[in-house]
Structure formats: structure tokens, C-alpha cells
């Protein structure tokens, strides 16, 4: 079972920023094997032509991800990112360049076999807290090119397995204006993401001018259906990057 908690701050009304969180679940038995999608997106300076972009990209990913369940989560997520990159390239070719360099976006897919697939663009980040130890997941992704190209907005996917008790945080970068890594590690080591989210919200809402930001917490809670017995002979469609490697 996965518990979730959200933190959304819209920021001052005069700041034209868009920030949102999306959680998508399978709608039928065929889609069940793909699991859930978790998305945190932000456009730091909304323009007249790109204010809808976070919602558009999230909808595209959802539609493409669940349209052919037989492909499996990795291929489905890859297809989603190709569709998004094509769409962003078309927007750029039409003269809409307002969003370039202003998009912070992170998307994770998590299925019932404990497989996590994650991609990121901009300065959005993802962290794993396991047994009290905090580590960046997104640092293992291919770095973005110095020269931004719309068709390469999303370049790579990281994959691994979660465990009971793991906590995952997907966040836009403004969170780090108020919490350093040491402080986040201490907070995420606490039990129950409800309490963690509440503590963070208190700190953020005490600020005189809280910025726009979005943070999503996932907690892997014990559940026999979600965490089946491990099969030592189980094979992945592609060799995954072990999350244990990130923690070393």
C-alpha cells in the first residue's frame, strides 16, 4: 500500500507561476499492471501561451502511459516521454518559447511489483529515505544539456525497487530555500508522512512571502498484496539501477 501526502503553495498572486501535483491510478483491470503515476510539475514564470503547460504535459503522460498496458511500465513511460518531447518541440516550432528553462517536472511510476520508474526535467528532484538514510534519486539521471532543446526535455529514466518502510519525496526546487539536506533527512526519518507533511507546512506557512512550490510524499506501508514475497529468479525487462547503489 502507498500512502501519499501533498504540499502545495501557490505563492504571491503577482508571481505568474504554475505549480501542481497529479496522482493517476489504473481505471480498469488491464491497466492495473502499470500501477500508479505520481507527478509534480512547476512552470516558474507563466507566459500567455504556456500557462496550461503543466496540466497539458501531465495529461499527455497519463494518456500515453495507460493506452497500451501490455507494453509494461518502462516501455509505457518511455512512450509517454517521447510524446511529451514531440509536443514541446512542436510548441517551440510554433514560436512558443516562453517555457524554455522554466519547467521543473518530475514523474514516477510505481507498480504492485515494487518497481519504481522515474524521470525528471529542470530542477525538480526526487529523494529516497530508507532506514533513516536520505539519498537523491535524480542525481543518477543523465544531466540536462547546457543548451536546452525542446525535443530533449526528458532524456532518461531511472528504475529500481522500493521496500516496505521506504519514503519517497518528489519536489520542486523552492523547498530547498527553507530546508537543507540535513534537515530534510531528519524530517523524513520521522514516522508517518502525515506528520512530516504537517511539520513542513508549518515552517513554510510561517514565511511572510511563501513561494510557489509542490512536494509529494510517498510512503510504502506493509501490505501483503502490494509487497509480495520476493522471487530470486524474477527478471526485469531491462537491468534496473538498484536504489541501494544510490545509498552508498
Domains defined along the chain, listed by start: 2-246 (3.60.40.10)
pLDDT for position 152 = 86
Q: What is the pLDDT of residue 15?
A: 59
pLDDT at 244: 41
Instruction: With CA atoms as reference, report the closest residue to 174 among 1, 7, 3, 4.
Output: 7
* Buried/exposed 60-75: b ≥16 CB within 10 Å, e otherwise: bbbebbbeebebbbbe
Model pLDDT for residues 170-202, shown as the tens digit of each residue: 999 999 999 999 999 999 999 899 999 999 998
Q: Residue 179 has what pLDDT?
A: 92
Beta strands 36-43 and 103-110, pairing class: antiparallel
How many residues are present in the chain? 248
pTM of the entire predicted model: 0.86
Q: What is the pLDDT of residue 242?
A: 40
Residues 128 and 188: beta-carbon distance below 8 Å: no
In a 13 Å sphere around the CA of 9, the CA atoms on its Cβ side amount to: 25
Per residue of the chain (248 residues), give pLDDT as tens.
Answer: 899 999 988 766 545 678 999 999 999 999 999 999 999 999 987 666 667 899 999 999 999 999 999 999 999 999 999 999 999 999 999 988 888 889 999 999 999 888 999 999 999 999 999 998 999 998 877 665 556 778 888 989 999 999 999 999 999 999 999 999 999 999 999 989 999 999 999 888 888 877 789 999 999 987 644 444 444 443 333 333 444 443 33
* pLDDT at residue number 147: 64
Amino acid at each position: 500500500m502507498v500512502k501519499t501526502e501533498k504540499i502545495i503553495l501557490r505563492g504571491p498572486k503577482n508571481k505568474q507561476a504554475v505549480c501542481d501535483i497529479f496522482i493517476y491510478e489504473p481505471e480498469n483491470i488491464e491497466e492495473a499492471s502499470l500501477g500508479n503515476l505520481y507527478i509534480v510539475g512547476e512552470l516558474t514564470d507563466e507566459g500567455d501561451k504556456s500557462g496550461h503547460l503543466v496540466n497539458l504535459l501531465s495529461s499527455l503522460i497519463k494518456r500515453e502511459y495507460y493506452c497500451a498496458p501490455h507494453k509494461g511500465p518502462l516501455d509505457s513511460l518511455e512512450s509517454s516521454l517521447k510524446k511529451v518531447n514531440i509536443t514541446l518541440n512542436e510548441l517551440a516550432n510554433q514560436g512558443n518559447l516562453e517555457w524554455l528553462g522554466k519547467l521543473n517536472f518530475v514523474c514516477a511510476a510505481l507498480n504492485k511489483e515494487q518497481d519504481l520508474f522515474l524521470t525528471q526535467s529542470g530542477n525538480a528532484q526526487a529523494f529516497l529515505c530508507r532506514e533513516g538514510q536520505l539519498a537523491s534519486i535524480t542525481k543518477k539521471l543523465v544531466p540536462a544539456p547546457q543548451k536546452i532543446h525542446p525535443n530533449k526535455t526528458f532524456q532518461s529514466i531511472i528504475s529500481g525497487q522500493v521496500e516496505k518502510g521506504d519514503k519517497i519525496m518528489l519536489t520542486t526546487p523552492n523547498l530547498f530555500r527553507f530546508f537543507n539536506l540535513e534537515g530534510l533527512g531528519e524530517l523524513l526519518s520521522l514516522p508517518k508522512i502525515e506528520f512530516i507533511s504537517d511539520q513542513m507546512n508549518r515552517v513554510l506557512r510561517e514565511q511572510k512571502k511563501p513561494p510557489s512550490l509542490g512536494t509529494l510524499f510517498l510512503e510504502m506501508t506493509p501490505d501483503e498484496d502490494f509487497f509480495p514475497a520476493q522471487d530470486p529468479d524474477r527478471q526485469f525487462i531491462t537491468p534496473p539501477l538498484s536504489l541501494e547503489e544510490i545509498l552508498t
